[in-house]
Amino acid sequence: MAADRGLFRRAPVRPLLAASILSADFARLGDHALQALHAGADLLHVDVMDGHFVPNLSMGPAVCAAVRRACPDAFLDVHLMVTDPGRFLEPFAKAGADSVTFHVEVEGDPLRLAARARELGMGVGLASNPETPVHRHEPFLRAFDLHLVMSVHPGFSGQAFLPAVLAKTRWLRERLGTEARVEMDGGVGPDTAGACTEAGCDVLVSASALFGAPDLRKAAQAMHAAAARG
């Protein structure tokens, strides 16, 4: 069965839980990613860092391709924390990405990058760092399937949620209606998921609160329950 490439384009029924494999056990990445999906995650979030846009390195297309082989039916949501996303659109399309999100802070025309990503058969998202004014998304609201709000400074998992970004989320949801997804990324766990959905998020990314939990299934259930209360 092919991956559900249209997941971000359908109206949300309930908030989606995206398991960020950044906190998975890299020594058994395929199994751990599958385990997260069986535990209740709706999709996998793949954090790509170039050591330039963010002060860390993580994974590239080869790792994404390996995850695709291990999880052929999963929706792969690739988050490019890189200075030059244009270089990586085709490699990630070939590696099986369903959607690719790049940052508004980087150089390059977001509309041109989005068009290229779509040409390659991927959905497309636009992200911004916590301190970036949400108005930077305004010219591009309708051009993206998803707008990602960083709720930590990107580069590492396991950081504390920055509640100030909830105002950005509300601003986006008010303008988007049900036209696009709003994704929260960073410090999302059972304690913060409700505030995120209350502010209009419908995709919750979680790395440490899921993969760091003693019981993945219970952690995923707690996240869904908290999200539903928001």
Q: Is 42 a catalytic residue?
A: no
Taking the least distance from each CB to ligand DX5, the nearer of 128 and 206 is 206
The dihedral of CA 56, 15, 125, 43: what is its sign? Answer: positive
Draw the binding track, 175-214, toward Zn ion (x: CB under 5 A; -: no contact): ----------x-----------------------------
Q: Is 47 a catalytic residue?
A: yes
Q: How far is the CB of 226 from ligand DX5 (least distance, A)?
A: 14
Beta carbons of 171 and 161 less than 8 angstroms apart: no
Taking the least distance from each CB to ligand DX5, the nearer of 52 and 112 is 52
Which partner in ligand DX5, Zn ion, none is near 158 (CB below 5 to 8 A by kind)? ligand DX5
Q: Which has the closest alpha carbon to 123: 180, 66, 70, 58?
A: 180
Which partner in Zn ion, ligand DX5, none is near 188 (CB below 5 to 8 A by kind)? ligand DX5
Question: What dihedral do alpha carbons 163, 170, 193, 145 form, nearest 10°?
Answer: -120
| Residues of span 48-67 touching Zn ion by CB under 5 A | none
Taking the least distance from each CB to Zn ion, the nearer of 42 and 47 is 47
- Encoding tokens for residue 229? 């209360």
Catalytic residue among 42, 145, 185, 202: 185
Mind telling me the catalytic residues?
Answer: 47, 185
Residues that bind Zn ion (CB under 5 A): 47, 79, 185
